[in-house]
Chain A
Amino acid sequence: SQQGEEDPQALSIQEGENATMNCSYKTSINNLQWYRQNSGRGLVHLILIRSNEREKHSGRLRVTLDTSKKSSSLLITASRAADTASYFCATAGLDSNYQLIWGAGTKLIIKP
């Protein structure tokens, strides 16, 4: 079973707009990670946020974490066509140090 649930399942926006994706999870975590996947190929790590952090930035990416609500959001600012991909959140639980639990992903389409 999958721990994370991304919302929305699909998102289509115009180039230059901001894209926000949300992730909810069920159990306490050590950290939460966001990954990008292009065309069903390998995943690329975007950002990791630890349970004691509330916000983290990396370039055009901003991630927030609310452990009280067991949720996270990924904001991509000034979107580009190259951002078209599926985005996944993955959680590292407190009870298991050896596996990541993944959501089903958000499919993001950036229209030129």
Chain B
Amino acid sequence: DAGVTQSPTHLIKTRGQQVTLRCSPISGHKSVSWYQQVLGQGPQFIFQYYEKEERGRGNFPDRFSARQFPNYSSELNVNALLLGDSALYLCASSSLAITSNEQFFGPGTRLTVL
């Protein structure tokens, strides 16, 4: 079975632009979470979606938004990009909404904002 997939792998944008990142969870998983990982730090929670509903949101500005589709894939949108948005964006899927079980991570999308 395919694991969690993310696209694109790498992305270069300039300040003020908008970006959309995509994630496909493991088949059968209904929960998708998004994390931002700045170089040298641990991941920071951005969003969690379960059954197409937002279940949790981290401490990120409204420039960050996400959605989950009927096939449980998800998109993360970031508007008005800042230099500080440069990071590895990780998507994780799990079978349950709650964090009582392990998360399966994709390879990430590395975003560079110039």
Q: Which residues of A contact B (CB under 8 A)?
A: 1-2, 4, 30-31, 33, 35, 40-45, 48, 88, 90, 92, 96-105
Are B97 and A99 in touch, CB under 8 angstroms?
A: no
| Least CB separation from B91: chain A residue | A42
From DSSP, what is the main secondary structure of chain B's interface residues? Answer: loop
Instruction: Indicate with 1 or 0, residue by residue over B95-113, a CB within 8 angstroms of chain A CB atoms.
Output: 0011111111111101000
Measured CB to CB, the closest approach of chain A to B75, in angstroms, equals 18
> What residues on A are CB-neighbors of B59 within 8 Å?
1
Between A and B, how many residue pairs show CB distances below 8 Å?
82
Q: What separation, in Å, do the CA atoms of A52 and B82 have in the docked complex?
A: 43
Q: Which residues of B, 23-67, contact A by the 8 Å Cβ criterion?
A: 33, 35, 37, 39-45, 48, 50, 55-56, 58-59
New A-B contacts (12) at CB < 8 Å, excluding given A101-B45, A102-B44: A2-B42, A31-B99, A33-B102, A33-B103, A40-B39, A42-B108, A43-B105, A97-B100, A98-B55, A103-B42, A104-B42, A105-B41
Q: Is B88 close to A, CB under 8 A?
A: yes
Q: Is B76 close to A, CB under 8 A?
A: no
Known contacts being A4-B42, A88-B42, A105-B42, is A100 close to B108, with CB within 8 Å?
no
Are B98 and A100 in touch, CB under 8 angstroms?
A: no
Measured CB to CB, the closest approach of chain A to B28, in angstroms, equals 17
How many residues of chain B are within 8 Å of chain A by beta carbon?
A: 33
| Least CB separation from B39: chain A residue | A40
Measured CB to CB, the closest approach of chain B to A86, in angstroms, equals 9
Are A100 and B97 in touch, CB under 8 angstroms?
A: no
> What residues on B are CB-neighbors of A1 within 8 Å?
59
Q: What separation, in Å, do the CA atoms of A83 and B45 have in the docked complex?
A: 26
* A and B contact pairs by CB, cutoff 8 A, 14 listed: A33-B102, A40-B37, A40-B88, A42-B105, A42-B106, A42-B107, A43-B90, A92-B98, A96-B99, A98-B33, A98-B98, A99-B48, A100-B99, A103-B42
